[in-house]
Structure formats: C-alpha cells, structure tokens
C-alpha cells in the first residue's frame, strides 16, 4: 500500500455565500470540498458533485470505477487519478474489491456513510500529520541548537588558542 502524502492539506476560509437565503446541499458540498483543499484552483473538476454521487453509491454499497468518477468530475481519466489522490490522502475514499458471485467489482468508495464521519477521518489524518510535523520540528530544534552550540564553542576556542601555523607573539624583555 503506498504511503499517504498529507502535504496537500490546506486551510482555506470558505464560508457559505451570505447572499443566499436558503443553502442547498450542493452549496454546502462545494464549501466542504473547498475547505478540505480538494479543489484548490479554479478548475472544471466538480468535486462537490463527486461527493454527492459517492454518498449515493456508498448507501447502495457499490464501488465507483475511475471511468465513472472521471465522468462525474468532468475531467480526463489521467486527471481523475490526481484528483483521487487528494481524496485518498485525507482518508475520504478507499479502493475496494467487492465479491459478486465468481467475480469482483473494483472501484472507489467513501470510507464512511456520512459526511460527519468523513470529517472524523479527516480530523484523524490531520492530527497524525501534525504529530509527525511536531516530531520533525523537535528534531529540527535539537539539531539547530546543537549546531549553534558547536559554532559558539569553536568561536570561543579560536579566541583562546592561536590558529595552527601562526607565530607566537614576541615577548617583551
């Protein structure tokens, strides 16, 4: 199983449009995918529509093929893999094989039945990401402090002892 890349996380301030009196499910789905960083740039990929469709398929316990996801997103199949990578890195979708008689149905499914449960998965992924980032930050601080202490020691050592090959100062007699 490939290692998750969580470096795609972004925190965007996207709020539901204040101009609308009644928010629709599509409006809120759009806000969610933007807030999670699934749709960073203004692209034609329709992530909100994909979220809604995946919820329907999850209810029926049917995996969705990459070709179908490409149609829903309205992008090429190769671009679909890139878009799915973002979803997988947050733990929103997973690749599954479901046995059907003598064959298997392969595709992607949401990892939870509700958006609230999906947000729990995202939160868990983000906490893991932050824990690992804190360990890296601690190692960074430790190495930086060690390096600074060594430099300080070297500077103090050069002031006390003359550099190699230098003539000692003449004595006054």
Domain 25-137 has CATH 1.20.810.10: no
Residue 8 pLDDT: 52
Residue 102 pLDDT: 85
Domain definitions of the chain by residue range? 25-137
Residue 37 pLDDT: 80
Residue 58 pLDDT: 92
- Write the CA distances from 4 to 53, 104, 108, 125, 138, integer angstroms: 24, 25, 16, 10, 22
By three-state DSSP, how is residue 93 classified? Answer: strand
> Low-confidence residues of the chain, pLDDT below 50?
1-2
Alpha carbons 138 and 57: distance in angstroms, whole number:
43
Phi-psi region of 74 (alpha: psi -120 to 50; beta: other; left: phi over 0): left
Residue 23 pLDDT: 82
pLDDT in tens, 14-61: 666 656 678 888 888 888 888 888 876 667 788 999 999 999 999 998
């Amino acid at each position: 199983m490939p290692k998750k890349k969580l470096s795609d996380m972004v925190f965007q301030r996207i709020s539901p449009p204040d101009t609308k009196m009644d928010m629709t499910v599509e409006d809120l789905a759009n806000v969610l995918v933007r807030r999670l960083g699934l749709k960073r740039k203004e692209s034609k990929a329709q992530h909100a529509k994909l979220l809604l469709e995946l919820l329907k398929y999850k209810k029926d316990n049917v995996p969705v093929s990459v070709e179908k996801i490409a149609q829903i997103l309205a992008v090429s199949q190769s671009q679909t893999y890139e878009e799915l990578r973002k979803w997988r890195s947050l733990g929103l979708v997973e690749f599954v094989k479901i046995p059907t008689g003598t064959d298997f149905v392969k595709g992607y499914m949401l990892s939870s039945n509700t958006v609230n449960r999906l947000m729990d998965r995202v939160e868990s992924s983000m906490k893991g990401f932050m824990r690992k980032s804190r360990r890296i930050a601690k190692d960074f601080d430790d190495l930086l402090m060690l390096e600074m202490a060594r430099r300080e020691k070297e500077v103090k050592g050069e002031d006390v002892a003359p550099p190699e090959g230098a003539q000692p100062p003449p004595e006054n007699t």
